[in-house]
Amino acid sequence: MRSGRVAVLVLGCLSALAGFALLSASAFLGWAYFMQRDGGHFTSPREHYQTSESALVSEKVDLFEGADLPKGFSTENLGRILLRATATDPGQEIFIGIGPRDEVDKYFTDVARTEVTEVQFAPFRPTYRQIPGTRTAEQPGTQSFWSVSSSGPGTQEVRWELQPGSWTAVVMKADATPGLSVDIQAGARLTFLGPLALSVLIGAVVLLIIGIPLIVAGAIGLGRHGPPQPHPVAEAADTEIMGEPTHPKVPWTVYPARLIGRGDEPLSRWLWLVKWLLAIPHFFVLFFLGIAFVVTTLVSGVAILFTTRYPRALFDFNVGVLRWWWRVQFYTYSALATDRYPPFTLARTDYPADFDVDYPARLSRGLVLVKWWLLAIPHYVILAILAGGWFGGWRAGATATAGADFRPPWIFGSLLGISVTFAAIALLFTGRYPRGLFDFVMGINRWAFRVAAYVTLMRDEYPPFRLDQGPFEPGELIPDACEGDPGPGTSSEGPPG
């Protein structure tokens, strides 16, 4: 791969990744802004608080206290706080107010009160701190320092616009006598969420406008200079698989995506224990290639809608990304079938694992909109069981009665995971990969990659519900060079067709 095109691709991926992150953030902020209900507020459940002292007070709340705010900065549109309090005794008059912390402290000098230090929900449990005192407070309604206040029987409510400073909320009886039992509900309206969501959205659009063209340009450059398409499978004799002559082939009848994996022998007994570490450089590269793959697939989908054609350079690039991913999977924990380190290239090589897709002449416009989610659902369900732990992140779980969530280790999250685990144990103790297990592992991987080619818009043919096992596709025979030492999963008679 040429360094200039790689640099363009990486810069595009970084820009697009930041753009997608900001786009997600703007969607969340926008949702939060429009979900502010109850008069435009987020509100907590109504909960019960009580004290034997004169008042319930909140801890100090600092808003931009001591902050060096920009010139012209105003907090008027930041939002507001809502507090509601209802006395347990319907005839009891209560007072609720918010005031500057210093003034509130002076008012409560030597007055016994209860400070709410923490509130835990689900289950609700407030934490109190008792502040002793001997003096009886004056009636709160006669004080002039409150920023907002309300007093009377029934439910009392205050709405306080956010302001810089240090503040305290107070709930007490209107006559300031000890003993208080109330239900309190708090809420907030964050008016800045709307403008913030719009600003973040604009930033996301700018980054995506920069990143997506860079990704497409880099992918086109790498795709144009990528691997040539192999000869059609239906062509006879003298063709090659990974540089090795083959027997004559029968016409292809299964699926126009080919997954090949020729297991090596002998295999190391212990190397599989550290392959996750050895493959980290590949995972790092595939992270960026994966971002580019998503973007180029979306761009190609738009192109198919208008032209019915998958841009050839993007097609070759995306096939190359899947090929690279399959090599790494074959080396690591989707097969563990070779100890040869995967090459860093999108092109076809003599590596014992290979993947290719026939380039389609035309693709359906309508299928672009439904095949990657609706039509593929049956395959997703089956692959969740067959290969979920590796390809879909699926894993089964059970919830205990105490609320704890117990899940089995991810390595046992699928039949593929279990099969590869048994293969690894067999390698550790016997130094050999069980032939039947290898064929089964290849069948699951082959199914998964056929579905991957379909849902990423490369083909319109619906993937078959078939577990075609063995190192080669049905209709392909074993290369002559492999007959003396076929490796795991192969035989001189060839794979099952």
**The pLDDT of residue 117 is above 80:** yes
Alpha helices in 97-157 (DSSP H): 101-107
Residue 181's φ and ψ, nearest 5 degrees, are -140, 110
C-beta atoms surrounding 375 within 10 Å: 14
pLDDT score of 232: 40
Which residues neighbour 474 within 8 Å (Cβ) at sequence distance 6 or greater? 253, 254, 468, 495, 496, 497
The 10s digit of each residue's pLDDT in 188-214 is 888 888 888 999 999 999 999 999 999
Q: What is the mean pLDDT of residues 39-44?
A: 76
- Indicate the range of 267-281, 409-423, 424-438 predicted with least confidence: 409-423
* Residues of the chain above pLDDT 70, percent: 81
pLDDT score of 74: 59
- Indicate the range of 155-169, 283-297, 351-365 predicted with least confidence: 155-169
pLDDT score of 34: 83
Q: What is the DSSP letter of 482?
A: G
Prediction pTM value: 0.73
pLDDT score of 68: 61
- Indicate the range of 247-261, 386-400, 442-456 predicted with least confidence: 386-400
**The pLDDT of residue 397 is above 70:** no
Domain boundaries, given as residue ranges, for the chain = 1-36+192-225, 37-189, 234-482
**The pLDDT of residue 491 is above 50:** no
Q: What is the DSSP letter of 111?
A: B
pLDDT score of 440: 96
Q: What is the mean pLDDT of residues 459-467?
A: 95
Is the torsion defined by CA of 388, 390, 391, 397 positive or negative? positive
More confident residue, 226 or 482: 226
**The pLDDT of residue 174 is above 70:** yes
